[in-house]
Amino acid sequence: MSVRTLSRRLNIEGTHFQAVKDELRRDMAVEALTRSSEPLVGIAERLGFEDQACFSRAFRIWTGNSPAAYRRASVMPTP
C-alpha cells in the first residue's frame, strides 16, 4: 500500500498515522510499566524515542503522569 493510500484511508476513518503510532506506543508503554521492571530508558529506546526525556514528555501528554509516577501508582501494595 502506498503512503498516499494509507493516508487517505486513515483520513476516511478520521485519524492519521501519527495518532495510530502514538496510541500503539502509549499502550506498549503502559504494558511495560505495569508488567515489567524494565528501566525507563530501556522502554523509551524500545519504543523508538530519541531519549528518556522525550518518552517522559510524550507519556505525560498521553496519561497526565510521568512514567515513574504511573509505575508507582500501578504497583499493588502487598498486605
- Residue 67's alpha-carbon distances to 10, 51, 54, in angstroms, are 29, 13, 11
Structure confidence at residue 77 (pLDDT): 55
Whole-structure pTM value: 0.82
pLDDT, averaged per 10 consecutive residues of the chain (79 residues), comes to: 90 92 96 94 96 96 95 72
| N-term to C-term CA, the chain | 53
CB 33 within 8 A of CB 70: yes
Q: For position 5, what pLDDT does the model report?
A: 92
Question: Smallest Cα–Cα separation from 22: which of 58, 50, 53?
Answer: 58
CA angle 52, 56, 61 (to 5 degrees): 150
Task: Determine the pLDDT at residue 66.
Answer: 96
At 26 the pLDDT is 97
Contact 43, 53 (CB under 8 A): no
